[in-house]
Chains A and B, each alone.
Chain A
Amino acid sequence: MSIASQRRWQLSLLLGPASLFLLVFFLIPLGIMVVTSFLAPGLYGGVEWSFYPHNFGRILGFADPAFEEFDPVYIAIFLRSLKIAALTVVATLLVCYPAAFHISRLPDRWKNFCLFLITLPFFSSLIVRLFVWVMILRPTGLVNETLLSAGVIARPLEMIYTDGAIILGMVYVFIPFMFMPVYASIEKLDWRLVQASLDLGAGPVRSFLRIILPLTAPGILAGSVIVFIPALGNFVVPAILGGAKVMMLGNLIEAQFLSARNWPFGSALAMMVMAVMLVLLVAYVIVSGRRNLAASAA
């Protein structure tokens, strides 16, 4: 056996299981979803096998005239989801960046302990942890009871089932996802470069903006993508903390599949979410690719 064909064998052995898994559990379902999104919904659930572009039309403005009029509510839900996901990114970044900075400068023993604490939430169920937030935020919950008995407020504050509650829950869920890439880039930062900047006359603020921020930007960028994409499609947090009042993309899609039994429309919505994510990912690859290219051009 020649070396080249031996290498090809090794490669297919190494990549085989992963490729097979992705093919069966990702690519094929994705194909089914793409096809479904262009089929007409059946009257009692299921699909009718005819080409039907109005699933996308319902979202974008060319609804099937036989059925209904165009309602911009779906675009509004899209925009709200984008807004909440963006705010989640900003809030997790504001929490994680200073914390990662501080932890990266601790002695090794404390550093490892803090990293353990960050991963600790993964040891218990997400649903349980979110219901704890319900206990804390609801009208008869911890915060309201405390404030009421202290006489700070006369009526319970409306905290749960608001956009604020969703963002709070999202931040809570996604902090570890932001923290890890941000921490990795800050940990890697060469402090001697900061010293050099101070030595050359730049004060702390300028040294941060000109040296620390650009050198940790890859971590910020990676963390933002890792948080934004699942936050956009998340349905657990709005389902538990948003109640029935706040609809987000995740809930909308879930409702189409499980309650409305309109699979084609649900597929079309999911396709739209994927399109947004794809645009973002491509932008990320181009931006980070340009950075790498600039950094390694020979």
Chain B
Amino acid sequence: MRDAIVRLTSAAKAFSTPEGRQVRALDGIDLEIGRNEFITLLGPSGCGKTTLLQAISGFVELDSGRIEIDGEVMTDRPPYRRPVNTVFQNYALFPHMNVGDNTAYALEVAGVPRAERIERVRAVLRLVGLEGMEGRLPRQLSGGQQQRVALARAIVARPKVLLLDEPLSALDKNLREAMQLELKTLQHELGITFIFVTHDQQEALTMSDRVAVLADGRIQQLDTPRTIYDQPVSTFVASFIGASNLLDGRCDGGNFIGSDGTAFRHRECDSKGPATALIRPEQFFLAARAASDPAIEVTLEQIVFVGSSFELFGRTGSGRRLVAQVPAGERHAVGALEAGGAARWYYDPESVHVIRDRKAA
């Protein structure tokens, strides 16, 4: 990437556990993050995403490798001399300062004159929807408001990169979803690079330009949300992002042959070897769309109405559990089904993604 604002090269960091075991939190990470990009680091707990964030903010010192921000090497710089600010998971608002002083802190430290400070604090508080709240103390605010103060405090000094460490995890569902959209809009308006850490895949898909899926201290896949969802490179990524039906089998002569007998032609099956087919729940249909559509015979175990859709849980003859999602608009088709009965789930082979697991190959 020519215009990278953050560039990590072979970044590595190991911790020793209390039992004396070595854990590689970062196992040779190479990552380039573009100017004005919204990138999400996604992974299960312990995958190294927070360590990666702290390596960028300066709170974790790398064992080896280097970090550049906007062309300058940051590897040995302390946190207070890096052009990045962080929105912390618990907000970490200063309890003895009011909203105005909390927000002005970075400006005060940077020696911005008082009059300008007041003006910029007012502007940024307006931006996050807390106009006129300068005099309040953090403990007098709701969780959502505290979150906004933390955000205002981190962006007021216009950092080159804003780091967000699971900032929405303490909010309730509705507020969280509203904040996701707001954050995305805000990032667009500010033109600051956002690096967002989360373990919530929905959050990652909603907001990001690109998502980096991490596991075991390595980047498993780095791509746009759509590519990651539609074409995961491994069964780990496939099962971590969204609900998924994974059929293991093999590729042979241009066909995917499932271990339970499923078989269809597939463009990614030109070479022989083990493979896994990924069918997302919404890719199943209750009626064939084309005469050639293959189908899987299942015994329905449960039908769940979740509002916008039905979720059908079924079991194949070989005992594999599958899930299908049917839009609520097709309720007449679902109405004919009942738990315990048999059903045929059709799918379009074109939309199936075949994972050639390199590890297994």
Contacts and interface: CB of A to CB of B under 8 A. Distances in A.
Given A195-B59, A211-B94, A296-B139, A200 B88 contact: no
Contacts of A195: 59, 79, 88, 92
Contact of B106 (A193, A200, A215, A295): A200
B90 A192 contact: yes
> Most chain-B CB neighbours within 10 Å: which of A196, A202, A297?
A196
Nearest to A296: B139
A151 interface: no
B interface bracket (residues with beta carbon within 8 Å of A): 20 to 34
Interface string A205-226: 0110011001100000000000
A242 to B, nearest CB: 41
Given A197-B105, A295-B96, A297-B137, A202 B80 contact: yes
A146 to B, nearest CB: 44
B32 to A, nearest CB: 23
From A196, A200, A214, A298, name the one whose CB has the most chain B CB atoms within 10 angstroms.
Answer: A200
Given A295-B137, A297-B137, A200 B157 contact: yes
Contacts of B140: 297-298
Given A195-B59, A206-B109, A200 B85 contact: yes
B57 interface: yes
B92 A196 contact: yes
Nearest to A207: B80
Contacts of A193: 92, 94-95
Contacts of B96: 214-215, 295
Interface string B198-240: 0000000000000000000000000000000000000000000
A106 to B, nearest CB: 15
B80 A196 contact: no
B90 A199 contact: no
Contacts of A297: 137, 140
B80 A199 contact: yes
A207 B108 CA distance: 12
A203 B92 contact: no
Interface in A170-219: 190, 192-193, 195-204, 206-207, 210-211, 214-215
B304 interface: no
Given A192-B88, A196-B88, A297-B137, A202 B94 contact: no
A296 B95 CA distance: 10
A38 B153 CA distance: 62
Contacts of A199: 57-59, 79-80, 84-86, 88
Given A199-B79, A201-B106, A206-B109, A295 B95 contact: yes
B109 A202 contact: yes
B95 A200 contact: no
A242 B135 CA distance: 53
A190 B89 CA distance: 13
B78 interface: yes
B110 interface: yes
Contacts of A198: 58-59, 78-80
> Which 9 pairs of residues, A with B, have the shortest CB-CB distance?
A196-B92, A200-B106, A198-B79, A192-B92, A202-B109, A201-B109, A198-B80, A199-B86, A214-B96
22 contacts: A192-B92, A195-B59, A195-B88, A196-B94, A198-B59, A198-B80, A199-B79, A200-B153, A200-B157, A201-B80, A201-B81, A201-B109, A202-B105, A203-B80, A207-B80, A210-B105, A215-B96, A294-B137, A295-B96, A295-B139, A297-B137, A298-B140
